[in-house]
């Protein structure tokens, strides 16, 4: 009898644990989709460093220069490095949210979150006090939540503590990955247009040569616009993740209600579509 009672208790406890996981299944699924969507960052075709090198090379080509063509893009390399850190920390937060919602904390390992960021201008990128504070706060939250001492931290406190800094880091990515790089591509489009204009209108060239220059121009233009389209879609992904996280934050006392479930499902569906679009563009 004692043995049967013990098994009965274990069965009941296990059932409640599984029920708890199932009741937050919509949070888990949304977070999984968010992780996949945010990882689209890793396939984006452009970076500050890449654009810097392309612009530098175009200037050398326009001057028919093939000697001493080194390009100093060290500020852009630093800007990319900072952006990668912000991206990685945002991704780690989502991995943590997945672990909390799925009650699998023991299986979760944090990445290296010991890098220190400082305010300042880094080439095309500006790191302000709010960005640095958000990075520091979110890194501390992750390390604290998944240390051995607080391994059972609940989803409620995790979302509340992480809401503001996570939103700030996503805004940073939106401003720099989409806004700044998109703007630099706009400048690049104009530079390419100016470069090809003289050749297309050079009457000393044959009709074939001028036509070929025109074709090259439109190919280059189409390539840049495809990259901008990809950045647009990535910006939409960031907006959907922010909206979903806001939904969790505003309904933290009622994560199991239908409004949360339907809202997360709708946002998750949009992100899945965005991921497919980026995949097709690649």
- The larger pLDDT score, comparing residue 273 to residue 70, is at 273
pLDDT in tens, 81-138: 999 999 999 999 999 888 887 755 444 555 556 677 888 888 888 888 888 889 888 8
State the Cα–Cα distance between residues 267 and 244, nearest whole angstrom. Answer: 7
The b-or-e profile of 6-15 (16+ CB within 10 A means b, else e) is: eeeeeeeeee
Instruction: Tell whether the torsion through CA atoms of 26, 86, 46 and 186 is positive or negative.
Output: positive
pLDDT in tens, 250-268: 988 888 888 889 899 999 9
Nearest to 69 by CA among 59, 79, 77, 82: 59
pLDDT in tens, 157-196: 899 999 999 999 999 999 998 889 999 999 999 988 988 8
Distances (CA, A) of 41 to 70, 154, 158, 177, 225: 28, 29, 24, 9, 17
pLDDT at residue 8 is higher than 80: no
Mean pLDDT, range 263-278, rounded to an integer = 91
The DSSP string of 60-122 is HHHTT--SS-----HHHHHHHHHHHHHHHHHHHHHHHHHHHHTT-GGG------------EEE
Q: Which residues contact 144 (CB under 8 A, 6 or more apart)?
A: 150, 153
pLDDT in tens, 36-64: 999 999 988 888 889 998 888 888 777 77
pLDDT at residue 205 is higher than 80: yes
- pLDDT at residue 139 in the model: 84
- pLDDT at residue 147 in the model: 58
- pLDDT at residue 203 in the model: 85
Chain centroid offset of residue 127 CA: 17
- pLDDT at residue 1 in the model: 41
Q: Is residue 279 helix, strand or coil?
A: helix
Q: Please give the span between the terminal C-alpha atoms of the chain, in angstroms, as a whole number.
A: 64
- pLDDT at residue 106 in the model: 40
pLDDT at residue 233 is higher than 70: yes
Helix boundaries (H) for 180-257: 181-200, 207-250
State the Cα–Cα distance between residues 210 and 217, nearest whole angstrom. Answer: 11
State the Cα–Cα distance between residues 168 and 185, nearest whole angstrom. Answer: 24
- pLDDT at residue 104 in the model: 53
Q: Please state which of the ranges 22-31, 69-78, 145-154 shows the lowest mean pLDDT.
A: 145-154
- pLDDT at residue 206 in the model: 87
């Amino acid at each position: 009898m004692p043995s049967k009672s013990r098994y009965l208790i274990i069965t009941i406890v296990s059932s409640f644990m599984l029920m708890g996981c199932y009741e937050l299944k919509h949070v888990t699924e949304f977070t999984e989709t968010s992780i996949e969507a945010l990882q689209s960052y890793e396939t984006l075709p452009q970076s500050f460093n890449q654009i810097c090198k392309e612009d530098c090379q175009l200037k050398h080509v326009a001057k028919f220069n093939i000697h001493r063509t080194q390009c100093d893009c060290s500020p852009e390399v630093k800007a990319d490095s900072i952006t990668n850190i912000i991206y990685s920390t945002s991704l780690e937060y989502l991995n943590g949210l997945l672990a909390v919602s799925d009650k699998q904390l023991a299986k979760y390992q944090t990445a290296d979150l010991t890098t220190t960021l400082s305010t300042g201008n880094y080439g095309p990128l500006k790191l302000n006090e709010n960005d640095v504070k958000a990075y520091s706060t979110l890194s501390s939250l992750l390390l604290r939540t998944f240390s051995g001492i607080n391994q059972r931290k609940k989803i409620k406190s995790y979302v509340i503590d992480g809401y503001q800094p996570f939103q700030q880091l996503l805004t940073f990515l939106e401003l720099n990955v989409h806004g700044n790089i998109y703007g630099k591509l706009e400048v690049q489009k104009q530079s390419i247009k100016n470069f090809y204009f003289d050749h297309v209108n050079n009457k000393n060239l044959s009709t074939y040569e001028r036509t070929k220059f025109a074709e090259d121009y439109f190919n280059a233009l189409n390539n840049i616009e495809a990259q901008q389209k990809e950045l647009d879609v990535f910006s939409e992904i960031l907006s959907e993740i922010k909206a979903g996280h806001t939904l969790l934050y505003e309904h933290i006392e009622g994560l199991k209600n239908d409004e949360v479930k339907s809202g997360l499902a709708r946002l998750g569906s949009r992100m899945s579509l965005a991921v497919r679009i980026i995949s097709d563009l690649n």
